């Protein structure tokens, strides 16, 4: 989108970033492409999903859809905070001009909850 978007990171996300820190020292990006001046592209992620056997089942953008659906379904988080977490602008142009909040504190809690939920799903499927 070519505009700044800040994302609060869960404990689990920070652990992953620390694990790949050495591998990404040649780039400013945590997940760089073959060109260290560019981030990993959506197409590269989709290609990896295909090679893992998820082609036609899941896409990089599909993770956003899943998160949005489950976060909204949980009834724990305000729709505004969920939309900001996805870097979406308010669809109401007038409201978007006046409401510039980022819902940061709620998003911090939401991201940790989401990571914990993913861990719980992973444990259920490991049985």
**What angle, rounded to 10 degrees, do the helices at 104-125 and 60-73 form?**
100
- Evaluate if residue 127 carries a pLDDT over 80: no
Q: How far apart are CA 115 and CA 103, in angstroms?
A: 18
Length in residues, the chain: 127
Q: Is residue 115 part of a domain?
A: yes
pTM for this prediction: 0.84
With cut-offs at 50, 70 and 90, classify the pLDDT of residue 49.
Answer: very high
**69-110 per-position pLDDT tens digit:** 999 999 999 999 999 999 888 777 788 778 778 999 999 999
**19-45 per-position pLDDT tens digit:** 888 876 788 888 888 898 999 999 999
90 and 96 in contact (C-beta within 8 Å)?
A: yes
Domain range for 87 is 74-127
Output the pLDDT for position 4: 85
Name every residue whose Cβ is closer than 8 Å to that of residue 81 and which is 6 or more positions away in sequence: 103, 106, 107, 110
Name every residue whose Cβ is closer than 8 Å to that of residue 92 and which is 6 or more positions away in sequence: none
Q: How far is CA 108 from CA 7, 41, 88, in A?
A: 8, 25, 17
Output the pLDDT for position 95: 80
Q: Is residue 83 part of a domain?
A: yes
Q: Is residue 27 part of a domain?
A: no
Count of domains observed in the chain: 1
Output the pLDDT for position 24: 67
Q: Is residue 35 part of a domain?
A: no
Cα–Cα nearest to 70, from 9, 116, 11, 5: 116
Q: Is residue 125 part of a domain?
A: yes
Q: Is residue 56 part of a domain?
A: no
Q: Is residue 101 part of a domain?
A: yes
Q: Is residue 79 part of a domain?
A: yes
């Amino acid at each position: 989108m070519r505009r700044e978007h800040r994302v609060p990171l869960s404990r689990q996300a920070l652990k992953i970033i620390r694990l790949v820190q050495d591998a990404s020292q040649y780039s400013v990006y945590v997940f760089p492409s073959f060109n260290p001046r560019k981030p990993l592209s959506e197409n590269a992620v989709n290609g990896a999903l295909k090679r893992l056997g998820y082609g036609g089942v899941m896409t990089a953008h599909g993770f956003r859809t899943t998160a949005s659906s489950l976060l909204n379904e949980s009834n724990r988080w305000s729709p505004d905070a969920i939309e900001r977490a996805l870097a979406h602008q308010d669809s109401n142009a007038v409201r978007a001009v006046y409401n510039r909040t980022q819902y940061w504190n709620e998003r911090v809690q939401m991201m940790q909850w989401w990571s914990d939920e993913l861990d719980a799903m992973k444990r259920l499927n490991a049985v």
